[in-house]
Structure 1
Amino acid sequence: MEWEARSDLVVEELIEASPDLIALQEVMYELYESDLQPRLASLGYVGTIQQRSRKDDHQTGNATFFRESRFEISWEAHRSRVLLVGLRDLHGGAEICVANAHLEGNPRKPMDRVSQVRSALLDASKHGGPERHGLILCGDFNAPLISSAVASFLCFGQVLPGVQEFGYAVDVPSKVPETGHPYAMQSAYTPDPCEFSFTLRGAAGSCHMLDHVWYDAARVQCQAVREVFRSPEHREAVLAHGLPNEADPSDHLPVGAVLRLLPAPVKELQADPGPDELLHAAEELWQACPLPQEQRERFLACEEALSSALPAGRPTAEALAAFEAAKQAREACVAAFPAEAQLVVERISDLRKQARKAEQRRARQSAKDVKESKAKAK
Structure 2
Amino acid sequence: MPKNFVDAIVSVETFIISIPREVPYLGPLKEGEAINARGYLIRKGNRTIYPSTDMTLLVKVTGESGKVGWGECYGIVAPEATKAIIDDVLGPVIIGRDPGDAAVIHEDLYDLMRVRGFFGGYYLDALAGVDIALWDLTGKNLNVPVSTLLGGRRHDTIRAYVSGLPKATLKERCDLAVHWVGKGYKGIKFAAVVSEEDIVKEMAALREAVGPSIDLMVDLHWKFEAGEAIRIIRRLEPYNLYFAEAPVQPENLEGQARVAAGIGVPLALGEELRTTYEYRPRFEKRAMSIVQPEMGHTGITEFIRIGQMAQAFHMNIMPHASISVGIFMAASLQAASALQNVPYHEYQHSIFDRNLTYTKGDMASGEGTYVVPTGAGLGVEPKEDVFEFVVRR
Q: TM-score, normalized by length of structure 1?
A: 0.31
Considering only CA atoms, is the larger Rg found in Structure 1 or Structure 2?
Answer: 1
Using CA pairs below 8 Å that are at least 6 residues apart, which structure has the higher relative contact order?
Answer: 2
